[in-house]
Amino acid sequence: MNDSDITIVLAANDGFVPHLATLILSILKTKKDETKINFYVIDDDISLLSKDALNRMVNEYNASISYLQIDTLKFEGMVESDRIPKTAYFRIAIPNYLKHTDIKRAIYLDCDIIAKEDIETIWNLDLGDKLLAAVEDAGFHQRLDAMEIEADSDIYFNSGMMVIDIEKWRAERISEQVLKFATENSDELKFHDQDALNAILHDRWLMIHPRWNAQAYIITKEKKHPTKIGNLEYTEACNEPALIHFSGHVKPWHSESNHPFRDDYLTIRAGTPFPMEEA
C-alpha cells in the first residue's frame, strides 16, 4: 500500500449491498483519477454474487475492494432496532480488523451516504492529538448529560462519518473500552453504538464542518443550530453538501422519501449493478 492511498471502511449485509455500491460509486466518481482508494468492507454475510458485482464495478477505477471477516459472536446481545442493526456496532472495532496491515488512518462511512465532493479533503485533515474527526450530531440530544458522562464539552458527534487515527485508537484499546461500555450500559443506549462511542471519546474528537456529514435534519431544515455560526454552517451544508447522509427512518430508496437529494442517490444507484426496480 502506498502512503498516499486512501483507506475507507464500510459495513454491510447482503440486503444493504445496493446502498453500499451507491456510496462506493459516488466516491469513485468524485475522486481524482490518480488517487488510489482501498475499500475495506466489513462483511456480514454478503453473497458471492454481490461481491462479484461489486468487484467488477470497483475494478473499473483506480481502486481496490477487500472483505473483512468478523466474529459476530462478539456483538451478540447488543441493543438493536429496525433503524440501527447489529452491523452498526462493527465500526467500533475497525482498528482491530486492520491490525495486520500498515494502515495508520481510515475513514469510516455509513452506507446511507453519498459523496458529492472529493473525500481526499477530509483524508488529509490534521487530527493533532485527537483520535478522530467527526461532525456534530444534528439532533442535539444532550446525550452526554443524559448518560451522566462528565465531559469538558457536551458536544456529541454523529458516528456515520469518522476519520480515525488507527494507531492511537488501537494503542489505547478504544474498541475494548467502547464495547465494554455498550455491554454494561445496554439499557441506557438510546442511540446504541453512537452513545457508546461518545461516552468514551468525548473531548477527544475534532469537530469539522457539517458539509462532511450533512444529515437529514440539516438538509431538510428540521433543526436549527443553537449558535449563530452553527446556523451559518448549516446553510453552507444545505447549499453545498460534500457528504450527504440520509439519516433517519425514511431513506431515498423508499417511495415516500421527499429528501431534496433523493434524485442524486437514484442517479448514482442507476450506474451501479444494483439499479432500483421499476415500480
70, 94 Cβ separation under 8 angstroms: no
Strands of the sheet containing 157-165, edge to edge, are 63-69, 37-44, 6-13, 105-109, 157-165, 132-136, 205-207
Look at the domain 6-270 and name its fold: Spore Coat Polysaccharide Biosynthesis Protein SpsA; Chain A (3.90.550)
The confidence score (pLDDT) of residue 99 equals: 78
268, 114 Cβ separation under 8 angstroms: yes
Q: Which helix (H) or strand (E) holds 19?
A: helix 17-30
The confidence score (pLDDT) of residue 77 equals: 55
CA atoms of 21 and 6, how far apart (whole Å): 18
**Phi and psi torsions of 196, nearest 5°:** -65, -40
The confidence score (pLDDT) of residue 4 equals: 78
The confidence score (pLDDT) of residue 88 equals: 63
The confidence score (pLDDT) of residue 2 equals: 63
15, 48 Cβ separation under 8 angstroms: no
Q: Which residue numbers in the chain have pLDDT < 50? A: none
27, 113 Cβ separation under 8 angstroms: no
CA atoms of 249 and 167, how far apart (whole Å): 34
Name the average pLDDT for the chain. Answer: 89
Q: Cell digits for 179? A: 464495547
Domain boundaries, the chain: 6-270
269, 18 Cβ separation under 8 angstroms: yes
pLDDT in tens, 145-162: 777 788 778 888 999 999
